[in-house]
Structure 1
Amino acid sequence: MRKINGVYSARPFSDRRWLLPFFASLLISLTLLMATVLGLFSSPNAGDSLSLDIVTITSNDDSEGYSIGLDRKILLGQPVASLEEEEEEEEAPRIAYLITGTKGDSQRMRRTLQAVYHPRNQYILHLDLEAPPRERIDLTMYVKGDPLFSEVENVRVIAKANLVTYKGPTMIACTLHAISILLKEKLRWDWFINLSASDYPLMTQDDILHVLSSLPRNLNFIEHSPITGWKLIQRARPIIVDPGLYLSKKFNVFTTTEQRELPTSFKLYTGSAWVMLTRRFVEYCIQGWENLPRTILMYYVNFISSPEGYFHTVICNSDEFRNTSISHDLHYINWDNPPRQHPLYLSSKDFDRMVKSGMPFARKFAKGDPVLDKIDRELLGRSNGQVTPGRWCNQRSNGAEQCSSRVHDFKFLPGPGAERLQQLMKKLVSEEFRNGSCSKLQYDQTKRDWIASRKTSH
């Protein structure tokens, strides 16, 4: 159009240069239309298969309170999974593991990772800042160089490590950091489990996932009891400072001369630092749609052994999650009587008791203790340097396990470990056992039973 005296004027109608592009585009449109129509009636096996992205299907789980998006991809000309298999895949649980270690623990972390590995799960490895950079680089290169981990892409190493101080809140900061990564990357998982390099499984992931398939997804396994007695005096009243919050080298926490009053807006709880928490609950701790998780986190910044109290205090003071707690840490631990600060190291003499306990995990193990080889051989069926096999593993022609790719990772091959865990879960979810959760009862670690709490003077 031309502008004449401030007014836009169209070209004369006699200009016919638009006809050629018009007929060319019309010809192309007709050609594409014919190709589409003919393609609808052609054989699905003719030519190369075409990958189509199907609309996202969302499965709502009322017990969870959140939705899981499942992106479906179907290859034309290939068999499509039955509806029954799709439902089974959606219902099968997933676990997110955090495995932590410090200087000299990279090899132990590798072994624990191999022992608890399953392509359905997610794994985050944190080697704290005390470990030299070379050790962290070696651990990262191992994960990147493993063909299975590279294929499934479900193992991550935290590159920017945190300094973790024993007894300090930096341990909670490390755990919340890992959970934040899992949530930020929108990974699919139902429960969060934290393990250390000195932990080890007593059954396969097929055993554990099979049993968890029959449990409600809103149960939180966190051993807890109201804080009383010496813990109230030695942990709740002192004010501590963790140098790991502001220094780059590890130092012990130090205590101030001042004492503090106990909180009145929430009650204090204590228990095991080893937990299995639901996604819904840890989302609440991170995102906090009310201020309770943040208030309690600020309180535990100056609290001795905060990993043994933060999650416990949050869950027992929350109306939404209080009744979802089961006071058990799912670990076999051998304590002195009365219990000291650290548990006893486990060895071959504890093997039978570990198995009979029905616990899925145990701690603490010394580096390279022979009992770990016994667990690999008799309970996990794991070869040295290999991941624990399961139904998802392919097999070579000679029958040897080759866990290099996943086939139907939502199907499990449970063994004797699943039977032991089912018996334990039957007890833990019983009304008799759960009556002690977030109540005035205390959990005796040596007797593995509830006892009435004793009144203590303040």
Structure 2
Amino acid sequence: MRPPTPTLRSRPRLAAAALAASAALLLVCLTWAGAGAGGFLFSSTPSTSTASAALRATGPDAPPAFAYWISGTGGETRRVLRLLRAVYHPRNRYLLHLDAGAGGDERAELAAAVRGEKAWGNVDVVGEGYAVDRTGSSVLAATLHGAAVLLRVARDWDWFVSLSSSDYPLVTQDDLLYAFSSVPRELNFIDHTSDLGWKEHDRFEKLIVDPSLYMDRNSEILPATEPRQMPDAFKIFTGSPWVILSRNFTEHCVHGWDNLPRTLLMYFANAAYSMESYFQTVICNSSEFRNTTVNTDLRYFVWDDPPGLEPLILDESHLDNMVNSIAAFARRFVEDAPVLTKIDEELLNHSSVCVNLSGKQGMDVDSCSKWGHINVLRPGRAGEQLRRFISEISQTRGCS
């Protein structure tokens, strides 16, 4: 006799258990980090990585370093590589992930492209794809997984930055590193609010199931039939899903020396768009970290009126506003949009050669990988503006 099929009434518990299991497996998976192409992580070239590490100055008097989690899906290898080139700096650390929408051959292609760049000794590629739905909690599990791996493979970065293949920088990495040199390294840049509005009913009283937590393919979320009460053990905050987190707070979310990160991970397993609320709720309910919160995500978006679930696609008509926004990143862009070439040339000082995947038509791509002294920053006017903005906005902290 076949066992009864689970109903939607019981599935939220299954989703919560799946997300909890995923979180528990983080540390187990980390034992595979650094394995070869057949293991968990496609690693960068060890000799290059070692040489880069020897050149990098570290400590409070040295420039900071970022750990980038860059995610994409099937058919986005070129987009991920273009974004990587645009945000690359030898001081930083990078982890690239293509979800279950991509095949193993695409991940191998991505890893081969990374290994083919002699200068990229600080870039790794997740060797296994897992299912992700960006409207559910599986994207949160993936982000925490990426953070856990970056904590394991590199001990000397200061901030965790999440990006997707639809994002692009508006300032050079020298500008960004210079701007962040002006503020304490325990600060967290998270857009947040406790004014939930319509989200209270649609996001938190309604239960959803994210099958991508326990399936091997990207799957859409499923609505449950029963509502739930708003919590009284903690206060929910929401905001932008794109964050810049300090290393200390990232460790807290991954390792959780108190029970709050795990409790909230279970709660948000059955909430839609959990990436827009998890980090906000953890930090604003933590007495240790709430006063390290700066209310900005340093992103440029354009929303429709009334706003939809995703910001509008950006094009050349938005370029002036992007430049004047004093943002570090912008989204959403389509692949090979002409505005990206303008950003490369006018804002990032990259030629079109440097964002191609290979040296086609006799182009000297190797010249794009040459760096001067990696501990000396060369900011431009945008870096000075961003530094002043970050220094000013960082004076107001907390979750009021």
Q: Kindly report which structure 2 residues correspond to 1:324-339, keeping only aligned pairs within 5 A, or say none.
A: 324-339=292-307
Is 1:118 matched up with 2:79? no
Of 119, 126, 143, the residue aligned with 1:175 is 143
CA contact (8 A) 2:180 2:387 kept: no
Is 1:409 matched up with 2:377? no
Of 349, 353, 358, the residue aligned with 2:317 is 349
3-state SS of the aligned residue for 1:218? coil
3-state SS of the aligned residue for 1:271? coil
Of 83, 88, 91, the residue aligned with 2:62 is 91
Q: Kindly report which structure 2 residues correspond to 1:434-445, keeping only aligned pairs within 5 A, or say none.
A: 434=397, 437-439=398-400
Is 1:260 matched up with 2:228? yes
- Residue 383 of structure 2 is matched in structure 1 by 418
CA contact (8 A) 1:104 1:131 kept: yes
Q: C-alpha offsets along residues 231-286 of structure 1, whole Å, 9 cap, x if unaligned?
A: 00000011111111111122211111111111111001110000000000010011
Gap change, CA 1:230 and 1:121, over 3 Å in 2: same
Q: Kindly report which structure 2 residues correspond to 1:21-420, keeping only aligned pairs within 5 A, or say none.
A: 90-149=61-120, 153-386=121-354, 402-420=367-385
CA–CA distance in 2 between the matches of 1:181 and 1:340? 33
Query: Identity across aligned pairs (percent)?
Result: 46
CA contact (8 A) 2:73 2:98 kept: yes
Q: C-alpha offsets along residues 275-302 of structure 1, whole Å, 9 cap, x if unaligned?
A: 0000000100111111010000010111
Amino acid at match of 2:288: E
Report deviation, 1:134.
2.0
3-state SS of the aligned residue for 1:257? strand
- Residue 37 of structure 2 is matched in structure 1 by none
Report deviation, 1:87.
7.8
Q: Kindly report which structure 2 residues correspond to 1:419-458, keeping only aligned pairs within 5 A, or say none.
A: 419-431=384-396, 434=397, 437-439=398-400
**CA-atom RMSD, angstroms?**
2.3
CA contact (8 A) 1:89 1:410 kept: no
3-state SS of the aligned residue for 1:139? helix
TM-score computed with the length of structure 1 as normaliser? 0.71
CA–CA distance in 2 between the matches of 1:343 and 1:365? 10
Q: C-alpha offsets along residues 193-251 of structure 1, whole Å, 9 cap, x if unaligned?
A: 00110100011000110111121101100001015221000000111111111111222
Amino acid at match of 1:230: W
Amino acid at match of 1:244: S
3-state SS of the aligned residue for 2:139? helix
- Structure 2: where are the runs of 5+ without partners? 1-49, 357-364
Higher strand share: 1
Report deviation, 1:387.
6.7
Amino acid at match of 2:373: H
Quick check: which has more Rg, 1 or 2? Answer: 1
3-state SS of the aligned residue for 1:290? coil
Gap change, CA 1:358 and 1:135, over 3 Å in 2: same
CA contact (8 A) 1:332 1:362 kept: yes
CA contact (8 A) 1:117 1:387 kept: no
Structure number with higher relative contact order (C-alpha < 8 Å, ≥ 6 residues apart): 2
3-state SS of the aligned residue for 1:147? coil
CA–CA distance in 2 between the matches of 1:107 and 1:361? 19
CA–CA distance in 1 between the matches of 2:393 and 2:178? 17
Report deviation, 1:323.
0.6
- Residue 23 of structure 2 is matched in structure 1 by none
Q: C-alpha offsets along residues 348-377 of structure 1, whole Å, 9 cap, x if unaligned?
A: 111011001111111111111100000011
Gap change, CA 1:385 and 1:291, over 3 Å in 2: farther
Report deviation, 1:133.
2.1
3-state SS of the aligned residue for 1:167? coil
- Structure 1: where are the runs of 5+ without partners? 1-71, 74-80, 389-399, 440-458
CA–CA distance in 2 between the matches of 1:87 and 1:314? 29
3-state SS of the aligned residue for 1:194? strand
Report deviation, 1:401.
8.5
CA–CA distance in 1 between the matches of 2:340 and 2:71? 18
CA–CA distance in 2 between the matches of 1:363 and 1:373? 15
Amino acid at match of 2:209: V
Q: Alignment length, in residue pairs? A: 341
3-state SS of the aligned residue for 1:268? coil
Report deviation, 1:342.
0.8
- Residue 60 of structure 1 is matched in structure 2 by none
CA–CA distance in 1 between the matches of 2:269 and 2:147? 18
CA–CA distance in 1 between the matches of 2:142 and 2:57? 36
Report deviation, 1:420.
2.3
Amino acid at match of 1:438: C
Report deviation, 1:345.
0.8
CA–CA distance in 2 between the matches of 1:427 and 1:353? 21
Higher helix share: 2
Amino acid at match of 2:210: D
CA–CA distance in 1 between the matches of 2:291 and 2:369? 41
Gap change, CA 1:89 and 1:287, over 3 Å in 2: closer
